[in-house]
């Protein structure tokens, strides 16, 4: 008679720190933090945990994701046809009414019970740096106990010297002027232009914080990428003038252009533009493989 496969032991609680995550939290998974098998399959449609990193230098690498809730920006893009596009994870930044609070140990145990043969965890949001204290504790254990490669996706407006050495690849996605909300764009989306909307333009660019991340990567032999969302050729001038000319220590291979769009139709319009601009400038084109595979489905 076959014996059931042994599940990794649940970690003894070590910390009281908490994290606020979106509903899917750690994904795609088949077991909860206690190791219990979940009733439903992940949104990938598979009967096992895991997905692939869909963007950047590590596109295609098998990964688990940890998505935190909350963001200090309110990105809204004007599409060529006049439509307004929110970030493709608006539920993690704009609409954070449905969140879940987990201890660092619960997050860690969820990863432990689902990581399998994967060696890569992606921490994303929202803006993860808003929870840097608890995130530092989580990353320290992910590194020391599970020995995982950690990618963190951030808008580059914040830096933390305690967290930074623990991040193997920091994916910096500075927001261009094209992402700045206006009263008109907010009205189109039935949103009030106040609070974070009003000061988005003031804080979206922080080249000092970006440079700190880049310097940290050199000191600790980690890696970084600068990922810009584009939809128009004129945006290259802004990338060069407002960002690259103010930063040191980058190579062309560190600069990625990603087409604007949160669904296949929008990407079909902007992908040729992003590819052409990447070729002209000797930078990288960043596909969005998860949208190619699953559309705008969450939790994949």
Residue 286 and residue 257 in contact, taking contact as beta carbons nearer than 8 Å: yes
Report whether 160 contacts 138 (CB < 8 A).
no
Is 126 labeled as ligand-binding? yes
Contact 139, 163 (CB under 8 A): yes
Q: Is position 217 annotated in a ligand binding site?
A: no
**Which letter, b or e, does each residue of 135-150 get, where b requires 16 or more Cβ atoms within 10 Å of its Cβ?**
bbbbbbbbbeebebbb
Residue 87 is labelled as binding a ligand: yes
- C-alpha–C-alpha distance, residues 170 and 164, integer Å: 8
How many CA atoms within 13 Å lie on the side-chain side of 47? 0
Q: Tell whether residue 124 is among the known ligand binding residues.
A: yes
Q: Confirm whether residue 195 is marked as ligand binding.
A: no
Contact present, 67 and 125 (Cβ < 8 Å):
yes
Instruction: Check whether 180 is labelled as a binding-site residue.
Output: no
Q: Smallest Cα–Cα separation from 122: which of 164, 162, 168?
A: 168
Cross-strand partners of 224? 170
What is the number of helices (H) and of strands (E) in the chain?
8, 12
89 annotated as ligand-binding: yes
**CA distance to 111, 172, 224, per residue, from 239 (Å):** 36, 13, 17
Check the annotation: does 75 bind a ligand.
yes
Name residue 27's beta-bridge partners.
65
HSE of 275, CA atoms in CB hemisphere, 13 A = 8
Length of the chain in residues, anyone? 300
Question: Which amino acids are annotated as binding site for [4Fe-4S] cluster, given as ranges?
Answer: 71, 75, 87
Question: Which amino acids are annotated as binding site for S-adenosyl-L-methionine, given as ranges?
Answer: 126, 173-175
Question: Which amino acids are annotated as binding site for substrate, given as ranges?
Answer: 52-54, 67, 124
Question: Which amino acids are annotated as binding site, given as ranges?
Answer: 52-54, 67, 71, 75, 87, 89, 124, 126, 173-175
Question: Which amino acids are annotated as binding site for Mg(2+), given as ranges?
Answer: 89
């Amino acid at each position: 008679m076959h014996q059931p496969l042994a599940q990794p032991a649940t970690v003894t609680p070590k910390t009281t720190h908490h994290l606020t995550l979106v509903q899917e939290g750690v994904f795609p998974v088949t077991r909860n933090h206690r190791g219990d098998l979940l009733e439903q399959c992940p949104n990938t449609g598979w009967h096992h945990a895991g997905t692939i990193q869909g963007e950047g230098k590590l596109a295609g690498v098998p990964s688990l994701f940890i998505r935190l809730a909350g963001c200090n920006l309110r990105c809204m893009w004007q599409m060529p046809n006049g439509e307004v596009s929110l970030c493709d994870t608006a539920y993690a930044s704009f609409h954070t009414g449905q969140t879940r609070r987990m201890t660092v140990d619960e997050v860690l145990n969820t990863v432990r019970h689902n990581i399998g043969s994967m060696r890569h965890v992606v921490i994303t949001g929202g803006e993860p740096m808003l929870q840097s204290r608890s995130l530092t504790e989580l990353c320290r254990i992910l590194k020391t106990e599970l020995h995982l490669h950690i990618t963190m996706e951030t808008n580059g407006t914040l830096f933390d010297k305690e967290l930074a050495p623990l991040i193997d690849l920091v994916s910096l996605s500075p927001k261009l002027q094209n992402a700045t909300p206006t009263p008109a764009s907010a009205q189109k989306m039935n949103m009030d232009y106040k609070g974070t909307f009003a000061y988005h333009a003031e804080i979206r660019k922080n080249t000092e914080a970006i440079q700190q991340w880049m310097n940290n990567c050199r000191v600790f032999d980690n890696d970084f990428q600068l990922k810009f969302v584009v939809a128009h050729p004129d945006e290259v001038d802004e990338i060069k003038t407002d960002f690259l000319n103010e930063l040191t220590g980058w190579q062309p291979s560190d600069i990625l252009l990603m087409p604007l769009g949160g669904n296949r139709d929008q990407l079909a319009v902007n992908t040729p533009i992003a590819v052409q601009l990447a070729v002209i400038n000797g930078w990288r084109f960043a596909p969005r493989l998860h949208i190619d595979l699953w559309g705008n489905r969450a939790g994949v």
